[in-house]
Structure 1
């Protein structure tokens, strides 16, 4: 089996803040390529992340940004990718591709953490614990290259004990293969990266993807057009479309208003999570509000385009980002 063991380190809680990439390419049981690359995430570094991996903003000052390194990395992500706690590393890759508007590649991936839990029956399945328990040797944990190399060693043992193929997942489903193109249009308004102004054309899609995939595309207007009532000839704003619109990373140091009925947690619990991450809770919406977190229970009034005072005020001001309950919980964890 040929595969690439992959590991990311991040500068802060955002999955798009990749500051180091390490990978090991294994073909026919032998390592044929290994690489470690520091990445400038163009984001702040959190002291808690620095304490884990030891990488600082000074270290990456002359490092390439992810978009400059993507062509080098993607050639090794063509068949099978493995990672320990793949949910984190795959999320980092997806988020960073979205932020830079990069066309994604497709591959199957496997998580050695998940396979270990199902197969080995050990009390702890962290990478360093497994390395000790299985006598895989010393390595510098949270160095991206050494983590990737240890992940490859672990994977070889797991392959001997179980059919790992049953754990494989696709990085992209067919409906997601245009993601990099239309995300480029969405995010280009809010970053300094020179992405095209939406809506993007069918011709631009053709540069990246096959025409038969166009039926999965989501071609949208600009954030300004979507956020303003009556913008782009839409009449009343569809709040559900707003909540599904923007999946770029959340800055939890900003000002939040929490509203609506939550299905997974209480509103107070949501506010506590924001405060714990360094954010500020506002009781009313004003021109300084950065985010509106909207509970996942849809009231009947939404069908009539009536969203309540807080949401209506935010729509009139047109500044705050709207976050669905599911998006908020996914990013806050």
Structure 2
């Protein structure tokens, strides 16, 4: 048996992915957990109360903890060239890429795959949140603790391998046509293959096709974004807008191409100063602020907040 990988999970101090405040890892060799790693990380940045409420880590807890540029060396040593896996990997791999960029780390390299996308291929469920998948496989853990989440992710991959009689990760991926792992090289990388969305110049038509492609029988009506209208602005780092729209539609949300009175949330990606000017506010953000000032119930979310809330 050659089921070998390292499951990883990060928690962040705020909406910026280069603000890791903890990391947990679980090493699996030949289908057995052989080692674990956990460290608090000093993000050298402010803590957002929203994030602290989720994971329980505060600024006082990390004042003597090592910063990311020291912890990444321990991560690299722990990996021993094994592939990484995370539950919704674009977030955790984004933490690595953005942090590598912030600290000028260019020599870190790793391959990775995604337990969320594999779960969608192998399991027919209403929810693919890590906590719900852990309940399915009878794995008890403390959600939003980085090591505990990594343990749950590792247990999920082992379950998928064992439940489908695979004795290596390559077969688990190849069976559902995931033939290429994602890659990280310093602050750069390429994604683990995900569902492709047909491109067209008509964004309204694309979003309509995305919504219609999702089975209404598979939607959890208790999800936070169910029946909520969501618009996106700026460059999203973890996924394209079409991919974000698909994620939203899969939980019953409604993607919108523009900010109107029916929009409940505006998700903000990175703003291009060449487009938005010195204010760093797109026309969508300005319109959302105007609607908010007039009493409209609309909220602005960062990309990281959107990820946390959708899973």
TM-score bin, normalised by smaller chain: 0.5 to 0.7
Q: Which residue of the partner structure matches residue 222 of structure 1?
A: none
Alignment of 1:92-241 (within 5 A): 92-135=95-138, 137-160=139-162, 161=164, 163-165=172-174, 166-167=177-178, 168-172=180-184, 176=188
Q: Which residue of the partner structure matches residue 10 of structure 2?
A: 8
Contact 1:9 1:142 survives alignment (8 Å): yes
**Deviation (angstroms), 1:71:** 1.1
Distance 2:304 2:150 in 1: 24
Distance 1:114 1:53 in 2: 24
Q: Deviations 1:16-49 (Å, cap 9, x if unpaired)?
A: 1100000011111222220110000011111111
Which has the higher relative contact order, 1 or 2, with Cα contacts under 8 A spaced 6 or more apart? 2
**Deviation (angstroms), 1:8:** 0.2
Structure 1: runs of 5+ lacking an equivalent: 178-242, 248-263, 278-290, 297-310, 315-319
Contact 2:84 2:113 survives alignment (8 Å): yes
Alignment of 1:278-317 (within 5 A): 293-295=273-275, 311=277
Q: Which residue of the partner structure matches residue 19 of structure 1?
A: 21
Matched residue of 1:20: which SS? Answer: strand
Q: Which residue of the partner structure matches residue 71 of structure 1?
A: 73
Tell me the TM-score normalized by structure 2.
Answer: 0.58
Cα distance, 1:132–1:292 mapped onto 2, change above 3 Å? closer
Structure 2: runs of 5+ lacking an equivalent: 165-170, 190-233, 238-255, 285-300, 307-311
Contact 2:83 2:110 survives alignment (8 Å): yes
Contact 1:23 1:149 survives alignment (8 Å): yes
Contact 1:292 1:322 survives alignment (8 Å): no
Cα distance, 1:175–1:151 mapped onto 2, change above 3 Å? closer
Matched residue of 2:60: which SS? Answer: coil
Structure of higher CA gyration radius:
1
Distance 2:93 2:187 in 1: 18
Distance 1:23 1:9 in 2: 12
Contact 1:273 1:332 survives alignment (8 Å): no
Cα distance, 1:124–1:268 mapped onto 2, change above 3 Å? closer
Q: Which residue of the partner structure matches residue 84 of structure 1?
A: 87
Tell me the TM-score normalized by structure 1.
Answer: 0.55
Distance 1:332 1:85 in 2: 14
**Deviation (angstroms), 1:12:** 0.7
